[in-house]
């Protein structure tokens, strides 16, 4: 495997005409959001079964199970701020050095940091759709979800304000197709620099995206990454914020 010094990474970003970023849970752990599947994740600490929480047929049968998870998740992230790396990516986009971000996360921290072109493969809580009348609610935040759950009857299921039907956040559940995968694949195949940040690449189809390009790929993530070595791939096993603070110094 090939390591990569921050100065070299900065030079690659400066040289690139089309940089694309793919992010996973690791970019948000420094903000205080535990990896769902990690030792301190909600799946483990609250004993949630992900197959039940995020399985679409189970959601329609027993939505209270998903909403119990949502109550914990929203309460965990409502006061959390984006990390240095989130902000770094937003600044690179603003400076014209970054084409866009593809994320597996549902925490909306990229948008809070100021990123504009964000493809949310797994959706997020920023919008929701009524399962009865199909009304869509947009520009939602965690405070809205928390207030809606508090004001609902127990269990804390959120209903459509228009018809009273079951409201589902626009999050991709098991049994549903991911969002905008074709667009994400096109972004990656057209880039000349791909940054994979905080992802172990063990969840499909996001894990397939790096195979869509022969461009230089820099993977910065703690632990094992499910991507084979290649002359154009550079693996950095380091804390994201520490690494990109160094990269930012060289860019400046």
Asked if pLDDT for residue 220 goes beyond 80, the answer is yes
Nearest to 122 by CA among 217, 205, 21, 27: 205
Mean pLDDT of the chain: 91
Question: Which of the pair, 205 or 2, is modelled with greater confidence?
Answer: 205
Residues recognised as catalytic:
122
Q: pLDDT-derived band of residue 51, with 50, 70 and 90 as boundaries?
A: confident
What is the reported pLDDT for 38? Answer: 52
Asked if pLDDT for residue 63 goes beyond 60, the answer is yes
Start-end of CATH 3.40.50.1220 domains in the chain: 1-32+83-122+179-252
Domain 1-32+83-122+179-252 fold is Rossmann fold (3.40.50)
Strands of the chain, DSSP E: 19-23, 100-103, 118-120, 123-130, 136-137, 167-171, 193-197, 216-220, 233-236
Mean pLDDT of 77-89: 94
Q: pLDDT-derived band of residue 46, with 50, 70 and 90 as boundaries?
A: low
Domain 34-79+123-171: which CATH class?
alpha beta
What is the reported pLDDT for 77? Answer: 85
Percent of the chain clearing pLDDT 90 (strictly above): 79
Start-end of CATH 3.30.1600.10 domains in the chain: 34-79+123-171
What is the reported pLDDT for 50? Answer: 73
Cα separation, 70 vs 82, whole angstroms = 20
Query: Per-residue pLDDT tens for 100-127?
Result: 999 999 999 999 999 999 999 999 999 9
């Amino acid at each position: 495997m090939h390591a990569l010094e921050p100065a070299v990474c900065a030079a690659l970003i400066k040289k690139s005409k089309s940089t694309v970023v793919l992010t996973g849970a690791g970019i948000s752990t420094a903000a205080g959001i535990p990896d769902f599947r990690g030792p301190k994740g909600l799946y483990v600490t609250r004993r949630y079964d992900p197959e039940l929480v995020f399985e679409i047929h189970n959601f329609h049968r027993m939505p209270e199970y998903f909403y119990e998870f949502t109550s914990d998740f929203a309460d965990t992230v409502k006061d959390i701020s984006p990390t240095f790396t989130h902000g770094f990516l937003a600044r690179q986009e603003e400076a014209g050095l970054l084409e866009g971000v593809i994320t597996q996360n549902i925490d909306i921290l990229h948008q809070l940091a100021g990123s504009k072109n964000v493809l949310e493969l797994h959706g997020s809580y920023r919008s929701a759709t009524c399962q009865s009348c199909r009304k869509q609610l947009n520009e939602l935040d965690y405070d809205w979800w928390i207030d809606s759950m508090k004001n609902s009857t127990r269990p804390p299921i959120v209903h459509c304000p228009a018809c009273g039907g079951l409201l589902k956040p626009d999050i991709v559940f098991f049994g549903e197709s991911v969002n905008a995968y074709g667009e994400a694949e096109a972004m990656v195949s057209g880039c000349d620099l791909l940054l994979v940040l905080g992802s172990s690449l063990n969840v499909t189809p996001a894990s397939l995206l790096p195979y869509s390009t022969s461009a230089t790929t820099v993977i910065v993530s703690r632990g094992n990454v499910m991507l084979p070595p290649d002359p154009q791939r550079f693996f950095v096993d380091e804390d994201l914020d520490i690494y990109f603070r160094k990269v930012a110094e060289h860019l400046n």
